[in-house]
Structure formats: structure tokens, C-alpha cells
Amino acid sequence: MFDANDKFSPICSGESGGGIELAPRVRVPASALRTQFSRSSGPGGQNVNKVNTKAELWIALSDLSPHLTHRALARLEQAAGRRLTKDRELHFVSEIHRSQERNRIENLERLRELLVAAMAEPKVRRKTKPGRAAKQRRLDHKKHRGKIKARRQGGHDE
């Protein structure tokens, strides 16, 4: 998703119908993404009161759901946390960079990371039993501790 100049280039066109590829097998039309820019907080020198560098990005879950399984959508909702609005939209805000474009790309990257994590099936944990050597070490340790405590018991004259 990066070009030769190390810039994020999510917009793809051609026979596949165009749109923006947010993650593998997740392509949405550019109109599905809503972006707004405003003034960023913090120090910024001469540009601070002139340039709208803070970028906000919204995308409705309904635009993503055709590309995700029910489980992946549930994991996405769980992982989104407070980024999921009551209107069931994902909301991302970035103001860490000094340029509007880099903050917009930062938001797209955050969305992509969230989607990739949600699409990954969690590994199923298989129950395992301790091996023979581990059991023996545990018993040896218990016997050793018992001997230490037994030595403390002797020698009381009453």
C-alpha cells in the first residue's frame, strides 16, 4: 500500500471497480469514507491558527460488513471500543503530524490495522498436560520444602 516515495496510496482503480483498498479483500468506494479537517491543538508556530491539519475519519460498519464475516465483524466491534459511535460508525482522529495529508493517511493506517486484526482468526488453545519431567520436578521441590520444614520441627524441650 506504499509507493516508491514511502507514501500510502490506498486508491486503486482499474477493472476491479476502483475504490479504496483498506485491507486484503476489503475494498470500499471512496464515498464510504467521510473526512473532516479542523485546526489542531498544541504548538505549531506561525501555521497554528491558519492551517486545518487535524484529520477526522468516519466509516459506517454497514459499508464494511459485506467484506467481513459475522465473527470478524463482532471482533471489529469489540476491538473498536470507544472509536465506535452510537450510529455504528468507526471514528478516527489524528493530529500528530504537521500536515493534513499525513494525518489523513495516519487515520487510514489505523483503520487498516484494526481491520486486519479483526479479520485474523484467534488461535484455538489446546489443553495440554504437564510432562513426566515437569511432574517429577514439582514433586522433588515439594519433598525438598517438606524436609526443610521437618528440620524446623525438631529440638523443642518442654
Binned average pLDDT, 10 residues per bin, the chain of 158 residues: 48 53 83 85 71 88 87 90 90 88 92 90 92 97 96 73
Burial group, residue 95, by CB count within 10 angstroms (0-12, 13-18, 19+):
middle
- Among 55, 43, 41, residue whose Cα is nearest residue 8: 55
DSSP conformational letter for 116: H
Compute the distance between CA of residue 158 and CA of residue 156 in angstroms, rounded to an integer.
6
Q: Which of 32, 36, 40 has the alpha carbon at shortest distance from 89?
A: 32
Alpha carbon distance 152, 130 (integer Å):
32
Separation between Cα atoms, residue 3 and residue 104, nearest integer Å: 16
Determine the Cα–Cα distance for residues 82 and 78; give it in Å rounded to an integer. Answer: 10
Are 58 and 46 in contact, with CB atoms under 8 Å apart? no
Residue 105: what pLDDT?
A: 92
pLDDT tens for 53-79 read 889 999 998 888 888 889 999 998 998
Instruction: Look at the pTM and tell me if it is higher than 0.85.
Output: no
Question: Where do the domains of the chain lie, and which CATH numbers do they carry?
Answer: 20-119 (3.30.160.20)
Looking at residue 4, its pLDDT comes to 47
d(CA 11, CA 27): 10
Query: Which pLDDT score, from 0 to 100, does residue 6 have?
Result: 46
